[in-house]
A = this chain, B = another copy of it.
């Protein structure tokens, strides 16, 4: 299993280093999520992970490389989740699939907010943003075709774009108070459900 460190970073070679890297990444998640990419400062990330600024830069040679690593980790989580969903999709009704989608996004939890901070906001390179989106869309489109066999490829891709957007709302739900949150999730479930059912009916 490759490390999450990417481009140019020094891989830690000792136990201590791995712990440090983990602490930095967690602090990075927190700060980027709270402040957004631009407003986050490396100094604060270092402080929150009790790391000297120089040590932070040993493992992540730039602010962007830290963001990259964080995003990569998120992409891996998501990709493998999508792969699982794709396997189960053929046996699912649209209703079940809708729930599965929402449950999965809800499980990503705080990480979604991070992705928003790093991808949707300015500051990240356009290329990375584009690649990230393509990955997400592709994963969803595949799931859709597995669940709704007669769905045309083009149509599945358009739907994926829409669905991906809708599912982002699940992350947003995290900011609401528990009661409102629950209601909101139920409503999103419903939205996805009627959408998927309509799609299935169209293809029949």
As for how many copies of this chain the complex holds, the number is 4
What is the chain B residue whose CB lies nearest that of A33?
A: B122
One of A63-71, A81-89, A154-162 at the interface = A154-162
B183 touches A166 (CB 8 A): no
Given contacts A39-B123, A121-B122, A122-B121, are A184 and B158 in contact (CB under 8 A)? yes
How far apart sit A162 and B172, CA to CA, in the bound complex (Å)?
10
Indicate if A168 sits at the interface (CB-CB under 8 A).
Answer: yes
One of A19-27, A141-149, A191-199 at the interface = A191-199
Indicate if A44 sits at the interface (CB-CB under 8 A).
Answer: no
Given contacts A36-B38, A38-B39, A165-B166, are A198 and B194 in contact (CB under 8 A)? yes
Residues on the B chain within 8 Å of A188, using CB: 162
Partner of A194, one of B116, B158, B183, B195: B195
Q: In the complex, given contacts A36-B123, A165-B166, what are 19 additional A-B residue pairs having Cβ atoms less than 8 angstroms apart? A: A36-B121, A38-B38, A38-B122, A120-B120, A121-B121, A121-B122, A154-B183, A158-B180, A158-B184, A158-B187, A159-B187, A161-B169, A162-B188, A162-B191, A165-B168, A190-B195, A190-B198, A191-B195, A194-B198
